[in-house]
Amino acid sequence: MKKFTSGKRIGVTAIAYIFVIAGVLALADACKKGKPATEPARQGTVQATKAATSQSQPLTQVVSIANIRQSGDGRASKIMFNQLEEVFTVTDASMLSVLQGAFAAHKSMQITFDPWQASILKIDNLTAAQGAVSSGQRLAGGGSAYEIDLSKMSNDVVNSLPASAVLNATTDSLANVIPDMATAQLMFDYITHQACALPGPYGIDQCISFQYCEDGCYARAHKMCWVINNKFHYGTHKIFSFANAGTDELCVKAEKWGGCCVNWWYHVAPIVNIKTPSGTKAYVFDPAMFDQPVLLATWLHAQENPACVPSGDKPHVTMINIQPTASYWPADGSGYTFGTDPLYTSTNSTMVSYAPLKTCP
């Protein structure tokens, strides 16, 4: 992993609404370079309609443990799962013992949890029929990882980090640079209009759960990349941010969804190239957090919100990893190895499960 310090690399009318939608659809047609894209097939666990899930109802997920560490105040243990970006807190000694055993044995399990309290309610052993936690394979390497310290790095240094991994990349049949910010904003707006918080109709097979920031960034990023690649024909990478050392956590205030605090151990979003008057630059697409594409430094600073720090911990991005689009979620706590979801099994299942949920109770 490369380390960087300061100064070094390290009320709208109906007519207006129609014109906006027409512009977005025209852009999609103009960007196509072949036959119309086909949506990835929805898999067996995915339902065709939204689940009527209550906001207070617990959720169930098959997971593997990325890391276990003590909280900053020493009163609890923090549990990080590869398949969930949220940091969970455990104080029960017997439950912690089970989790530690599973972590040591590299064993997957099924948990029932309350995402709004970041607490684990129940742990179940997997049966053979429940299978693996991912439809893909394990990827190692193939990206660019950097140690991050935003307090010592200028925004210009941070924004230059994607240069080798993203700006100089080439992808067969996909354009590498979006021609201007206006085009990028139209693409961003099209993706935003697929949000589950809006009534639709949607231009893709399943709405995207931007309104539920507690979890699901991996699925949102995967679906957004599919849209950018297949509907607009531009290349993408993914930017992963990690808080995976010491008492680091990603601390975010969900300004768009009620203003409550959300705490993650990792986050991911698509990163693309946009041509600007001052040159081609890498921008992050993250409608769960912003209303427009943003530079990397802006995206990272939003994950170190001092108003959302758990007791004894600190808001700090430990590292970033710029990955190929195929990387889906972490395969372990290192920030270097990733699982994939080539069949969109987890992606679409997650979208259906999270469609009726919201971030702030």
The pLDDT tens digits for 13-42 are 333 433 334 444 443 443 333 333 445 543
Does 129 or 317 have the greater pLDDT score? Answer: 317
Please say whether the beta carbons of 120 and 323 come within 8 A. no
Closest to 196 measured CA to CA, from 184, 204, 185: 204
β-partners of residue 110 are: 62, 124
Closest to 24 measured CA to CA, from 195, 185, 236: 185
pLDDT tens-digit map of 185-238? 999 999 999 999 998 899 999 899 999 999 999 999 999 999 999 999 999 999
Percent of the chain with pLDDT over 90: 68
Q: What's phi and psi for 320, nearest 5 deg? A: -125, 155
Compute the average pLDDT of residues 308-316.
86
In this predicted structure, the answer to whether residue 47 has a pLDDT above a threshold of 60 is: no
Compute the average pLDDT of residues 253-260.
92
Please say whether the beta carbons of 274 and 167 come within 8 A. no
